[in-house]
Structures are given as C-alpha cells and as structure tokens.
C-alpha cells in the first residue's frame, strides 16, 4: 500500500506513478491511500484516473479526498 499525504501535485506525480507501476508490473495488488490530502492539481487528477484504469485500488479519507475517490470509482466500476 502506498500513502499520499499533503498534496498530489505535478512535482509528485512521477514518483507515485513509478512506484505504483513497478508494483503492478510485478503482479502485486496495489492500493493507494490518500490521507490528509489538501489539494490535487490537474496532473494529480490525471494520475488518479490512469491508476484507477490500471486496477489500482484508491481510497481516501476526509471529505475532499472521499469525494474525489467516489468520482473515480463511478468512472471505473
């Protein structure tokens, strides 16, 4: 499981994506927990969509991230 705190912004997208992709290619079940995330920029939203399409389970805590995750899950049932 990977956990993101703070912001999911352009400067952090590559490291999160590389970490998740590495685990996915090794056949591992990947979960991404958005914990105490206060903002997600456009690059972060795009990343979450890509990860969800790859089968990464995304969870969020708090009102903001819960809404974002709910939206992603509606797009990728």
Residue 77: the pLDDT is 66
Residue 63's pLDDT is 86
Residues contacting 48, CB < 8 A, separation 6+: 8, 32, 40, 58, 68, 72
Q: Which domain holds residue 24?
A: 2-75
Q: What residue ranges of the chain have pLDDT lower than 70? A: 77
The dihedral built from the CA positions of residue 23, 72, 70 and 45, taken in this order, carries a sign that is positive
Matching residue, tokens 């999911």: 8
Q: Tell me, what's the pLDDT at 74?
A: 85
Q: What is the DSSP letter of 32?
A: E
* Coil vs helix vs strand at 36: strand
The pTM assigned to this predicted structure is 0.89
User: Number of folded domains in the chain?
Assistant: 1
Write down the pLDDT at residue 8.
94
pLDDT of residue 73: 82
Task: For residue 38, give the CATH number of its domain.
Answer: 3.30.750.24
Secondary structure (3-state) at 77: coil
């Amino acid at each position: 499981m990977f956990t993101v705190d703070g912001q999911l912004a352009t400067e952090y997208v590559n490291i999160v994506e590389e970490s998740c992709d590495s685990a996915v290619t090794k056949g591992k079940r990947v979960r991404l927990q958005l914990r105490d995330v206060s903002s997600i920029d456009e690059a972060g939203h795009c990343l979450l969509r890509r990860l969800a399409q790859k089968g990464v389970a995304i969870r969020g805590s708090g009102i903001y991230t819960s809404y974002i995750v709910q939206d992603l899950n509606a797009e990728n049932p």
